[in-house]
Amino acid sequence: MDINALIASRIPGHSLDRAFYTSDTVFQTDLDIIFGQHWIYVGVEPDVPEPGDVVTVDIGHHAILIVRHDDMSVRAYHNVCRHRGARLIAGPTASVGNIVCRYHQWTYNLDGALIFAEHMNPDFDRTCHGLKPVHLQSLAGLLFICLSETPPADFDDMADALTPYIEPHDPRATKIAAQIDLIEEGNWKVTMENNRECYHCAVSHPELTVSLFEHGFGFAPDPGNAAKQDAACRYDALSARMKADWEQQGFPSSEIEHLADRATGFRTERLPLDGTGESQTLDTRAACRKLLGTLKNPVLGGLSMWTQPNSWHHFMADHIVTFAVFPLSAERTLLRTKWLVHKDAREGEDYTVEKLTAVWRATNAQDGALVALQQSGARTTGYQPGPYSPFTEGLVDKFTSWYINRLRAHTAG
Ligand code: FES
Ligand SMILES: [Fe+2]
């Protein structure tokens, strides 16, 4: 398979060639280039609240452990022993003093240094056999890793732009109230394309659209549809009024969009919610009585934030929902969803997991079915790349364009 020819054959404004969704060769290229050389969203600081807490993340053939150090910094290492390669932390989480390989008990401290290795030659140099570090950055408590030795240099620009939007929700001072892993039967790019549009929202997401307007996600109504045009006008008026209020209260709201013009692509915007305007719940009221950070007003809309290649997030006054996409194979993808509430919120008193998770449990299941539906057709011989809607899929095009451009940047020459 000639990756360069595939890249060159991409038709702008269209979905990708079949091989991008099905080929094992492209899948390995995606792991090496997209997931191996860009900033990848992996989790949140509350995954590892205490020193010695570990969470593991697998991205294809990359296995990473993330650990809270005694100095409260968060570190990432390859989750593999420097002796004969045993996986160090077997499960999804652990709590450790040092990191001990269970095979022959080589032992590493939280700095990654090898501090114990029995029965080795006297001239064996332990300092050459520490854990391999992985670049890690925390964006207001959201954890990103980069497996490349030379990560894209624009992470700080993204962090500078996004931190003022996120900080009022204080992710560092949250706890994970619920986490669900969903395996979708599709290529990871099908999962991402599905996320980047609300063309399908009105028909497919009855629970989500109780609170979420389809507008604000790159959705512009068809000029020929008067009812949708009216709804868009009402939404625009509401949005302008809410954003002016929020800005006055010190909550940044206006759109920042750099999805396709940089290595570390991102987008954010604070959007009004329907109904009471409080939260993405079935009755649009806050799911958690204790609000995030020091927030007092539950009507803070939904701060939507996306990063390329693999995440999206909704920050509300009462809770945060955060989504990470991890490729499993050419045609299978893991979607990991976490619901975060204030760390002092009490389950059963301030919130219930049932209410907190109801909307996105339903929405993820619906999206998972749509991903499988697209994959099942796109893998057949009758498929050919189809045109994106200029009104509702501009941000899907920015995702695929970013993807193609990043492949091109790393394969050129
Ligand atoms: S493989 Fe880890 S100590 Fe031998
Ligand atoms: Fe959806």
Could you please report the per-residue DSSP string of 183-200? Answer: EESS-HHHHHHHHT--TT
Q: What is the mean pLDDT of the chain?
A: 96
Residue 210 pLDDT > 70? yes
Burial of 151 (0-12, 13-18, 19+ CB in 10 A): buried
Question: Mean pLDDT, to the nearest integer, of 153-182?
Answer: 98
State which amino acid sits at residue 400: T
Closest by Cα among 252, 340, 251 to 297: 251
pLDDT of residue 216: 76
Q: What pLDDT score does 227 carry?
A: 86
Sheet containing 99-100, strands listed edge to edge, beginning at the edge strand earlier in sequence? 99-100, 107-108, 114-116
* Residues contacting 402, CB < 8 A, separation 6+: 259, 260, 265, 308, 309
C-beta of residue 109 within 8 angstroms of C-beta of residue 115: yes
CA of 275 to the centre of ligand 2 (A): 20
pLDDT tens digits for range 363-383: 999 999 999 999 999 999 999
pLDDT of residue 412: 76
Which numbered atom of ligand 1 lies nearest the CA of 86? 1
CA of residue 67 to ligand 1 center, whole Å: 19
Please state the rounded mean pLDDT for residues 33-51: 98
Q: Which residues contact 280 (CB under 8 A, 6 or more apart)?
A: 208, 211, 212, 273, 302, 314, 316, 321, 359, 360
Total Cβ atoms within 10 A of residue 334: 17
Residues 48-92: tens digit of each pLDDT: 999 999 999 999 999 999 999 999 999 999 999 999 999 999 999
> What pLDDT shows up at residue 221?
82
Peptide bond preceding 51: is omega within 30 degrees of 0, i.e. cis?
Answer: no
Model pLDDT for residues 253-307, shown as the tens digit of each residue:
999 999 999 999 999 999 999 999 999 999 999 999 999 999 999 999 999 999 9
Which amino acid residue places its CA nearest to atom 3 of ligand 1? 104
Please report, as a single letter, which amino acid is at residue 403: Y
Q: Between residues 395 and 220, which one has the greater pLDDT?
A: 395
CA distance readout (Å), 172 to 89, 216, 271: 24, 27, 22
Q: 83 CB less than 6 Å from ligand 1?
A: yes
Distance CA 87, CA 80 (A): 5
CA distance 190 to 372: 9
Q: How far apart are the two ends of the chain, measured CA to CA in Å? A: 17
**What DSSP assignment string belongs to 203-270?**
HH-TTGGGT--STTSS----TT-HHHHHHHHHHHHHHHHHHHHHHHHT---S-EEESSSSSS-EEEEE
> To 10 degrees, the CA torsion angle through 19, 24, 25, 26?
50
What is the CA 310 to chain-centroid distance, rounded? 5
Whole-prediction pTM value? Answer: 0.97
Q: How far is the CA of 210 from the centre of ligand 2 (A)?
A: 14
As a whole number of angstroms, the distance between CA 284 and CA 270 comes to 16
- Tens digits of residue pLDDT in 312-356: 999 999 999 999 999 999 999 999 999 999 999 999 999 999 999
Q: Give me 317's structure tokens.
A: 């006054």
Question: What whole-number distance in Å separates Cα of residue 248 and Cα of residue 38?
Answer: 36
Q: Which of 77, 89, 101 to mutate to test the pocket of ligand 1 (most atoms within 8 A of CB)?
A: 101
The 3-state DSSP class for residue 158 equals helix
Judged against a pLDDT cut of 60, whether residue 413 lies above it is answered with no
Residues ≥6 apart with Cβ < 8 Å to 12: 397, 401
- Cβ(86) to ligand 1 under 6 A? yes
Closest residue (by CA) to atom 1 of ligand 1? 84
Q: Where are the alpha helices (DSSP H) in 259-393?
A: 353-378
> How many Å separate Cα 165 from the centre of its chain?
17
- How far apart CA 265 and CA 243 sit, in angstroms, is 24
